[in-house]
Structure 1
Amino acid sequence: RYGIKDLETGEIDYDELRAMAKKHKPKIILAGFSAYPRELDYQKFVDIANEVDAMAMADVAHIAGLIAGGVAKNPFDYGFHLMTTTTHKTLRGPRGGMILTKGTVGSPLKSVEQTLENLPTIIDRSVFPGYQGGPHMNNTLAKAVAFGEALQPEFKEYASQVIKNASRLAEELMERGFKLVTNGTDNHLILVDIHTSFGIDGSEAEKVLDKIGLTLNKNAIPNDTLPPFKPGGIRLGTPAITSRGMKESDMEMVAEWMLQAIKSKNDSKALDAIKNQVKEFCLQFPLPSDLSN
């Protein structure tokens, strides 16, 4: 597993990655993350993979919607062979997954030569019927609706606003004393070193913020000294609040509520008061009627 070269910027240690690849000669080099707020240098991953004759694979589950919206880089543009993603998260579809490849699609009923060009057929033969079966047509329809939405101009606006909101929220949090891993974000994710910031662990912060109606999760941070179930960080993102219509100016209130809740973590009356403020604020951004009824 490769690491980060500079915790302040979040730069991946590509020299370490190259050395590991040359030593272990992997068949696949995976580029992906669940709590990394910066953009990867996909070209370097491809260059290193080519040096050791490995397949370049990207897990874009968290940023698929941003790629579809044109605000995040597409690994395929840099020569990746394979991508995997969920159909929910930033893509806003139902729960599910996809495997995306380049190459020629053939019949999964016929054996093919093991080449990159035949990768789509090789994968089809691998997953069906052994691992995949019993299709849920309601999910298939929901995915079609989500993909259709992702093709619309409004989806590009949504993706762009997700980035704007995350950037602004990161700024507002840092102004209030929150220590952010890599000091900001390039995507929808924000990773906070809550232990360094306020002396509490991520589990406690998660529970306190849940009490006021803000949903996020505890998360480990690079070089975390705390245990996994009580890590030093919290992870939050902006897709959901962006989908409800919030803009950059609204991020100030979100950051302020987070600060006040943590300061008042042992004061139930204060937390109830903040929760009421959050509720009143959210009424300005109602959910679609088909979800709220």
Structure 2
Amino acid sequence: MDVLAALERKHSLNLFPIENRLSPRAAAALASDAVNRYPYSETDVAVYGDVSDLNAVYDHCVSLTKEFYGARHAYVQFLSGLHTMHTVLTAVTPPGGRVMVIAPEDGGHYATVTICQGFGYWVEYVPFDRQTLEIDYTALAERTAEHPADVIYLDASTVLRMPDARALRAAAPGAVLCLDASHLLGLLPAAPGTLVLDGGFDSISGSTHKTLPGPQKGLLVTNSDAIAEQVGARIPFTASSSHSASVGSLAITLEELLPHRGDYARQVIANARELARQLAARGFDVAGEAFGFTDTHQVWVHHPEGNTPHEWGRLLTATDIRTTTVVLPSTARSGLRLGTQELTRWGMKEDDMTTVAELLARLLLRGEQSRSVAADVRDLARSFPGVAFADRPAPLAVA
């Protein structure tokens, strides 16, 4: 097998809500000498002697993270979203503590409950309103008044509505509030009124390769000195290597996106809303019409009776369209979960969502042959070879 050839980018239409495109500079960092190096460190009994000054790269990445999110403290040592979740939960939850999370059928991450139970925590679900597709803050207040939670860890992986940090704080005033923003990190600059650190979340963390177009890694920000001390004390026991090349790649991503972070976030959301409207206009059953379909990068499409999400998923994959089928909170059944963050990173705008919706309609509603649709998919992908929202946009080579 030619492994390098298999790893080359294929011309496809990426509607995964869990992936994004690295810039050429950020991708180059992953192939640098730092990929196999540790930064300098000292303890009472040991010295790890790095001669490359990788600590400066780490410090720079931390500074950029704090500036990007307007936070007082930041950590970038985590390898992934799940790695971050493990570290945060064990840092802030007391032994045998009570943790509230989002149920998987309400959009919660599949692994959170198992992780919490493995650490011996008592787990309960945050109340969820399936009509509005939001947390039921009134029911949450009633529940926490009766049984106070030590930690509320919001872990939404399938999400159309932004959580309201202040409403959450009012409903659970005594709990440590942690937002797993793996799906939202790149959108936070467009949601200052609902996603806040001061008076809201104690920490915001998550993976850095979804709406934030960085490498596969994790970060955490907080304005709480106490949370920062707890997390910082825990990190040496969860991250012996932080993958220096990925830290550099994340720093480059933040450098490039920083001046455009608000424009990028707003465009991702605008593209998602327009894609949803265009799909609905063509006859797809799209969730969330009552509130404009979506407030995030995600669009949810319910499959018709007599059709299974696996049939749609396999057909889309065969047509070079990358998608996910998961349980959607709107129905508690499987359906299509689409995302617009990578298309936005390519440089697509609202008008381009008409083309994307038409490709999906041709394939899934009209039964057009996969081969003919795939040819148009590849042509569309080839027409967006570069990276938008970067200070140094550099086209990628087109094969």
- The answer to whether TM tops 0.5 is yes
Equivalent pairs, count: 265
Cα distance in 1 for partners of 2:210, 2:222 equals 20
Q: Which amino acid aligns with 2:282?
A: R
Map of 1:191-206 to 2, 5 A cutoff?
Answer: 191-194=300-303, 197=304, 199-206=306-313
Map of 1:87-98 to 2, 5 A cutoff?
Answer: 87-98=208-219
Task: Tell me whether 1:79 sits opposite 2:207 in the alignment.
Answer: no
Which stretch of structure 1 is more off in the superposition, 185-194 or 174-183? 174-183
Any runs of at least 4 consecutive aligned residues in structure 1 with deviations exceeding 3 A, and if so which? 68-73, 287-293
- 2:360 is aligned to 258
Match of 2:375 among 276, 281, 284: 276
- 1:187 is aligned to 296
Task: Tell me whether 1:99 sits opposite 2:223 in the alignment.
Answer: no
Cα distance in 1 for partners of 2:397, 2:261 equals 19
Superposed CA deviations along residues 104-149 of structure 1, whole A, max 9, x for unmatched, are 3xxxxxxxxxxxxx22112111121x11112321111111111212
CA contact (8 A) 2:278 2:354 kept: yes
- 2:63 is aligned to none
Distance apart, 1:63 and its partner CA: 1.0
Match of 1:30 among 153, 156, 164: 153
3-state DSSP class of the match of 2:187? Answer: helix
Task: Tell me whether 1:12 sits opposite 2:114 in the alignment.
Answer: no
Cα distance in 1 for partners of 2:381, 2:337 equals 21
CA contact (8 A) 1:178 1:193 kept: yes
- 2:104 is aligned to none
CA contact (8 A) 1:61 1:87 kept: yes
- Which structure is richer in relative contact order (CA contacts within 8 A, separation 6 or more)? 2
Task: Tell me whether 1:163 sits opposite 2:269 in the alignment.
Answer: yes
- 1:127 is aligned to 235
Distance apart, 1:37 and its partner CA: 0.8
- 1:137 is aligned to 244
CA contact (8 A) 1:86 1:97 kept: yes
Match of 1:66 among 178, 187, 202: 187
Map of 1:239-258 to 2, 5 A cutoff?
Answer: 239-258=341-360
Change (3 A) 1:100 1:155: closer
Distance apart, 1:199 and its partner CA: 3.5
Distance apart, 1:223 and its partner CA: 6.8
Cα distance in 2 for partners of 1:72, 1:291 equals 40
Change (3 A) 1:70 1:42: closer
Give the alignment's TM-score, normalised by structure 1: 0.82
CA contact (8 A) 2:185 2:212 kept: yes
Cα distance in 2 for partners of 1:78, 1:204 equals 46
Cα distance in 2 for partners of 1:4, 1:26 equals 16
Superposed CA deviations along residues 233-279 of structure 1, whole A, max 9, x for unmatched, are 110110111111111111112112112211355x6xx1100111111
Change (3 A) 1:185 1:62: same
3-state DSSP class of the match of 2:215? Answer: coil
Superposed CA deviations along residues 25-62 of structure 1, whole A, max 9, x for unmatched, are 21011234111111222211011221xx1111111111
- 2:172 is aligned to 49
Structure 2 unaligned residues grouped into runs of 5+: 1-124, 387-393
Q: Which amino acid aligns with 2:254?
A: F
CA contact (8 A) 2:166 2:194 kept: no
3-state DSSP class of the match of 1:64? Answer: coil
- 1:151 is aligned to 258
Q: Which amino acid aligns with 1:93?
A: G
Change (3 A) 1:37 1:210: same
CA contact (8 A) 2:162 2:195 kept: no
Root-mean-square deviation (Å): 2.2
Change (3 A) 1:158 1:150: same
Structure 1 unaligned residues grouped into runs of 5+: 105-117, 226-230
Q: Which amino acid aligns with 2:370?
A: L
Change (3 A) 1:71 1:5: same
Change (3 A) 1:77 1:177: farther
- 1:111 is aligned to none
